[in-house]
Every structure is written in structure tokens, then in C-alpha cells.
Amino acid sequence: MNIETLQNPPAALFEELEEKITAFNEELWEVKTKYPLAIAARDEEGVLLAGASARTFGLWLLIENIWVSEALRGQDMGSKILAQLEAAAIERGCQFALLDTLNFQAQPFYEKFNYQVGWIQPSYPVTGCKYFMSKQLIAA
């Protein structure tokens, strides 16, 4: 056996590791697939003005990105995108949502919608921090 440290590893190694841990997890989890979900707001020419990307996995909405163009910020577009994303996730059977945001991004925005900080990753990547936030989408 040869164990190496790779300072510039190939992307294929990351893919292979992801495939192997996914295969292991699938043996033990009752849910096998993360289903993609997205919201897109485009202008008449098809230019993306705002949107969100996420996945649903069992009872969870896993929010990856929410973005609003500078031109639409402060006009409740983020609120509309988030509400539509949550509604679509609830239709898929999700009961909870999870996301992370950086200290200079949107923590106060998410708190307005009842997301709560569960954990803070300090010194990320050096002087900032990352907030891991969750929300119960429907009453238990």
C-alpha cells in the first residue's frame, strides 16, 4: 500500500471519494437521492437577475446559494426567492431547512425568516466566520 499527500490532487480523486462515501451512506440511509431544486428570475432577454440553488434530501431543504443582482437588492426579491424555494421544498415533503452564510453576507436576512444559528465556524477562512443556520419549515 502507498499513502500519498497530494498538494494538487486531480478532480477525479475528489469525484471518486465522493462516490465511495455516497455508496457507503446509501447502504445505511433510508433516503438515497438529493434532488436538485432551483428558482430563477430572468429579464426579457433571459439574463439572470436573481435565483437560488438547493437540494431536497428526505425531510431537509439544503440551501446552497441565493443571489440577487445589485439592481434588485432592497426590493424584497430575496424574500420572494426564499419563500418560493421553501414552498417548493414543503411540496416535496421537507420539514426543515439548512444553509450556511458568511459574516459579510446575509445572516440578518435569514434571521428575519426565523432561521437560527446552530453553529459558528470562527476564523473562516482567516478573519471572518461562517454561520450554519436552520429552520423548521412546518409545525411539528
User: How is the chain split into domains, by residue range?
Assistant: 34-136
Q: Give the homologous superfamily in CATH for domain 34-136.
A: Gcn5-related N-acetyltransferase (GNAT) (3.40.630.30)
- Torsion sign (Cα): 89, 119, 111, 41: negative
Burial (CB count within 10 angstroms: exposed 0-12, middle 13-18, buried 19+), residue 69: middle
List the pLDDT tens digit at each of the 140 positions of the chain.
Answer: 999 999 999 999 999 999 999 899 888 889 888 999 999 999 999 999 999 999 999 999 999 999 999 999 999 999 999 999 999 999 999 999 999 999 888 999 999 999 999 999 999 999 999 999 999 998 76
- Predicted local distance difference test score (pLDDT) of residue 140: 63
What the block records as the C-alpha cell of 34 is 438529493
- Predicted local distance difference test score (pLDDT) of residue 104: 85
- Predicted local distance difference test score (pLDDT) of residue 85: 98
- Rounded distance between C-alpha atoms, residue 96 and residue 16, angstroms: 30
- Predicted local distance difference test score (pLDDT) of residue 116: 98
Predicted TM-score of the model (pTM): 0.87
